[in-house]
Chains A and B, each alone.
Chain A
Amino acid sequence: MEMLRFATAGSVDDGKSTLIGRLLYDTKTIFEDQFEAVEKASVQMGAEYTNLALLTDGLRAEREQGITIDVAYRYFATPRRKFIIADTPGHIQYTRNMVTGASTADLAIVLIDARKGVLEQSKRHAFLASLLRIPHLVLAVNKMDLVDYDQERFEEVRNEFRDFAAKLNIADLAFIPVSALHGDNIVDRSASMAWYQGPSLLHHLEEVHIASDRNLIDARFPVQYVIRPQSGEYHDYRGYAGTVAGGVFRTGDEVTVLPSGFSSTVKSIETFDGRVDEAFSPMAVAIRINDEIDISRGDMIVRPNNQPTVAQDIDAMVCWMNERISLRPGSKLVIKHTTRSTKVIVRDLSYLLDINTLHRDEGAAQLSLNEIGRVQLRSQAPLFFDEYRRNRQTGSFVLIDEATNVTAGAGMILGPAS
């Protein structure tokens, strides 16, 4: 069975929680005791109907305030696929949570209320999905029941969104008219919208082709940990453990180790279950090589004819996630990139991006909570990276504040800075 991770962004008003509740309910993922708890809570809150949103709002503060604060992960499966939903709040003040949920998603669902059309919020969600390079985007035009399942209205919304989306980098965009409340086009095709010839939402989630989304070209192996049993039959064993971050490694391959630049060949690729001939993303394996070279955590094993950029100056889009401190030129932080951690200094902030209008403010002096901007960083030790759009593993990083140890920012690499 395959696995698909998708993110949903939206607020209660868009019917996001109802949509998720519907997917879980119709795929029989919601259990009786969970449903009873939600029914009980709905009655206590004086709701007229069972509020499926309560299924997803897990924290006491969220239930009390009727809002989603944090990313929640939900699970369901059909015979074809296992699904992991990163359910994120849609309001601008939770941009960091949306970015978090989007970072691992293969697909994003952006919800639009058919009556309201494309709002600022929907544009923002689509922009964040494209910034985080989610390969597949679904625009679910919801509440079709409230516009009499009107084909013309659906097409108006679709065309409006399409015009906007042309400005973004979206590889695959699908439009589905739905009513989450009544279940139209969620699991089964709707009888009320015979004019719609496409798949239901669930059918689309089951069928969308994700196998070629991974980078199987650029071989990248960030060394995580060195396995040295130092005992008995494994006395001289030395395995470089890690998760393949791109490309394919095979026994006998010629490899180069960064930063030393030494070359050798792959002796074997090992797992607990035995040796394997090849390893690809996201397999977690141990690579043994034929020559004794000094290799440690933070190093990267690559192919000699296909190497990542090695640089100390990087150009990146950064989403700032901390409310107490801000990012400004001169800020010193810790960067965690693949398995390497080092210090960085912010050299420059080129512009702050208005995520509603995509306007670039080149006069901005700092990035505050939930703001996104283009920055140039200089690291103490060189980093081995690819552009984020080419490889989400070797092109991403987080920034940590050294005084408080909190994760204060997340970045997507555009390339080396000049």
Chain B
Amino acid sequence: MGTAGSCRVEWAVLLAAMSFDLTHLRQLEAESIHIFREVAAEFENPCLLFSGGKDSIVMLHIAQKAFWPARLPFAVMHVDTGHNFPEVLEFRDRRVAELGARLVVACVQEAIDSGMATEETGPRASRNRLQTAVLLDAIERHRFDALFGGARRDEEKARAKERVFSFRDEFGQWDPKSQRPELWNLYNGRILMGEHIRVFPISNYTELDVWQYIKDEQIEIPSVYFAHRREVFERDSMLLATGPCIALMDGEEPFVERVRYRTVGDMSCTGAVESSADTIDKIIEEVAATRITERGATRADDKVSEAAMEDRKKEGYF
């Protein structure tokens, strides 16, 4: 009797525990929602950085969930390099209108025209560095005190060490050596005037988690993520799209290939990969089987050196 009784109790505990399980995607989502609400409650003027890439789309989707049925209690900002995929811009405007959100566009082109920034020249010119100056200028002008970014810790090793609430001094700089300890789900967002916090609500998602979440939630993403035919050329073993913002060098021959993008950023330095994945399921299959990280495969800006990301982050990059 004693044995049977204790057996029954154990089963009851086990069954109870089983029904209170959350899948990893639900746990990750709950953590992100918690982070959004903390920021909305504790900051005066937060803003969400939206690039039109899948990570910021997922981030925006979760933000909507965190405050439903109310509108987003913060603005959405796009740092526009002027080298965008038209499909992505169209997507951005539609999504922002659906949400009834306030869109702020910080233009690299305007900064160049006004003389605030000087454009690099030559076939390898990139507006990557200019983005940082334009971003910091916009933060100062709009007096944003918290900025949500879609960075993930699995992307890159400097990011693997960054806090969810990442402090930026009055120059917008990150100091990896004096980061605030971050324990449990207690985030310290206290700052002085002129300082701000970068907040990364989807820090703990991997690339595969993002795709599985997009599938589960049936989130719409720009068409460039799916396999399509595009005129490209090869540079540094990456496929770059031809277009007005990039000049071909000697020996570079354009050709048409079936490709898709794994990341979406500035057209001049975001590479496409050969792919026939034209559905979310096929993309998940491809991502699960791939042997190269998304930044390694598609980002010329990260190939500069072993610490390229760390260096740019210190200066105030996303």
CB atoms of B291 and A31 under 8 A apart? yes
Q: Bound complex: CA of A209 vs CA of B251, how far in Å?
A: 59
Chain B neighbourhood of A230, CB < 8 A = 70
With known contacts A60-B307, A99-B183, A224-B41, A212–B68 Cβ distance under 8 A: no
Decide if A2 touches B33 in the complex (CB within 8 Å).
Answer: no
Min CB distance B174 to A, Å, is 11
Residue A192 interfacial (CB < 8 Å): no
A107 CB to closest chain B CB (Å) equals 15
Query: Which residues, 47 to 100 on A, are CB-close (under 8 Å) to B?
Result: 55-61, 63, 69-75, 77, 81-82, 84, 96-97, 99-100
CB within 8 Å of A: which B1-55 residues: 13-14, 16-18, 20-31, 33-34, 37-38, 40-41
Looking at chain A, what size class is its interface with the partner chain? 35 or more
A174 interfacial by beta-carbon distance below 8 Å: no
**CA of A103 to CA of B206 in the docked complex: distance in angstroms?**
21
On whether A272 and B64 interact (CB within 8 A), knowing A75-B206, A237-B69, A282-B31, the answer reads yes
Residues facing B in A88-120 (CB within 8 A) are 96-97, 99-100, 103-104
Q: Provided the pairs A224-B41, A227-B67, A229-B70 are in contact, do residues A284 and B188 lie with their beta carbons within 8 angstroms? A: no
Do B292 and A77 have beta carbons less than 8 Å apart?
A: no
**Cβ of B177 under 8 Å from chain A:** yes
Residue among A59, A71, A77, A284 with max Cβ neighbours from chain B (10 Å) = A284
Contact across chains for A393 and B41 when beta carbons are under 8 A apart: no
- Whether A33 contacts B184 by the Cβ 8 Å rule is no
Please determine whether B186 and A321 come into contact, CB atoms closer than 8 angstroms.
Answer: no
- Contact between A59 and B181, CB atoms less than 8 A apart: no
CB-nearest residue of chain A to B206: A75
Q: Scoring A residues 34 to 54 as 1 if CB is less than 8 Å from chain B, else 0, what string do you get?
A: 100100010000000000000
Q: What residues of chain A lie closer than 8 Å to B24, measured between beta carbons?
A: 1-3, 81-82
- The closest CB in chain B to the CB of A244 belongs to B30
Q: Which residues of A contact B161 (CB under 8 A)?
A: 58-59, 70-73
User: Is there contact, CB below 8 Å, between A75 and B70?
Assistant: no
A104 contacts B184, C-beta separation under 8 Å: yes
In the bound complex, residues from chain B placing their C-beta under 8 Å from that of A336 are 186, 188
Shortest beta-carbon distance from B316 to chain A in Å: 17
Q: Are B23 and A2 in contact (CB under 8 A)?
A: yes
Of residues 178 through 203 on chain B, the ones whose CB sits less than 8 Å from some CB of chain A are: 179-186, 188, 190-192, 203
Task: Give the residues in chain B near A100, CB-CB below 8 Å.
Answer: 181-183
A392 adjacent to chain B (CB < 8 Å): yes
**Chain A nearest CB, measured from B181 CB (Å):** 5
Check B17–A37 contact: CB distance below 8 A: no
Complex: how many Å from CA A73 to CA B31? 15
Contacts of A1 in B (CB 8 A): 23-25
- A237 to B28 CA separation, bound complex (whole angstroms): 27
Residues of B within 8 Å of A211, CB to CB, are 17-18, 20-21
Residues of B within 8 A of A176 (CB): none
Assess the A33–B66 pair: CB atoms within 8 A: no
Q: Which residues of B contact A31 (CB under 8 A)?
A: 290-293, 296
The residue that B180 contacts in the complex, of A212, A229, A396, A406, with Cβ under 8 A, is A406
B160 at the interface (CB under 8 A from A): yes
Is the beta-carbon distance between B291 and A32 smaller than 8 angstroms?
yes
- B31 CB contacts on chain A under 8 angstroms: 282, 284
Is B27 touching A282 in the complex (CB atoms < 8 A)? yes
Q: Does A225 contact B (CB under 8 A)?
A: yes
Please tell me if A234 contacts chain B, counting CB pairs below 8 Å.
Answer: yes
CB distance B297 to A33 under 8 Å?
yes
Interface size of B as a range: 35 or more
Residue of B20, B37, B209 touching A214 (CB-CB under 8 A):
B20
B-contacting residues, A162-192, CB 8 Å: none
A241 within 8 A of B: yes
Residue contact A74 to B160, C-beta cutoff 8 Å: yes
A368 at the interface (CB under 8 A from B): no
B153 touches A75 (CB 8 A): yes
Q: Are B158 and A59 in contact (CB under 8 A)?
A: yes
A138 on the B face (CB < 8 A):
no
Contact A297 B296 (CB under 8 A): no
Neighbouring A residues of B181 by C-beta, 8 Å: 96-97, 99-100, 321, 398, 407, 410
A381 contacts B by Cβ under 8 Å = no
Residues of chain B from 226 to 260 with CB closer than 8 A to chain A in the complex: none
Question: Is the C-beta of A283 less than 8 angstroms from some C-beta in chain B?
Answer: yes
Q: How far is the CB of A140 from chain B (nearest CB, A)?
A: 22
Q: A228 within 8 Å of B by Cβ?
A: yes
Once the chains are docked, how many angstroms separate the CA of A330 from the CA of B7? Answer: 53
Residues of A within 8 A of B21 (CB): 2, 211
CB-defined contacts of B66 to chain A, threshold 8 Å: 241, 284
Q: Which residue of A lies closest to B68 (CB)?
A: A272
- The reply on B176 being an interface residue by CB < 8 A is yes
A72 touches B160 (CB 8 A): yes
Cβ of A405 and Cβ of B190 under 8 Å apart? Answer: yes
- Decide if A355 is an interface residue (CB 8 Å cutoff): no
- Across-interface contacts of A248 in B (CB, < 8 A): 20
In chain B between 67 and 120, which residues have their CB closer than 8 angstroms to a CB of chain A? 67-71
- Residues facing B in A326-373 (CB within 8 A) are 334, 336-337, 339
Find chain A residues with CB under 8 A from B192 CB.
405
Q: Is B142 part of the contact surface with A, judged by Cβ < 8 Å?
A: no
Chain A CB within 10 Å, residue with most, of B25, B67, B160: B160
B157 at the interface (CB under 8 A from A): yes
| Contact (A393, B293) CB under 8 Å given A2-B21, A73-B160, A243-B30 | no
Residue A70 contacts which of B154, B179, B209 (CB distance < 8 angstroms)?
B179
B310 at the interface (CB under 8 A from A): yes
Q: Which residues of A107-161 have CB atoms within 8 Å of chain B's CB atoms?
A: none
With known contacts A37-B306, A243-B185, A397-B186, A282–B37 Cβ distance under 8 A: no
- Inter-subunit contact B188/A405 (CB<8 Å): yes
A34 engages B188 (CB within 8 Å): no
Contacts of A283 in B (CB 8 A): 22, 26, 30
For B143, list chain A residues within 8 Å (CB). none
Interface membership of B65, Cβ < 8 A: yes
Is the CB of A193 closer than 8 A to any CB of chain B?
A: no
- Is A400 part of the binding interface, using a Cβ–Cβ cutoff of 8 Å? yes
- Indicate which residue in A229, A321, A334, A400 contacts B69 across the interface (CB closer than 8 Å): A229
A-B CB contact pairs (8 Å), 5 listed: A2-B23, A63-B306, A211-B21, A284-B66, A336-B186
- Supply 8 further A-B pairs (C-beta < 8 A) apart from A225-B41, A229-B71, A284-B37: A31-B291, A100-B183, A216-B20, A224-B41, A242-B37, A273-B65, A393-B184, A398-B188
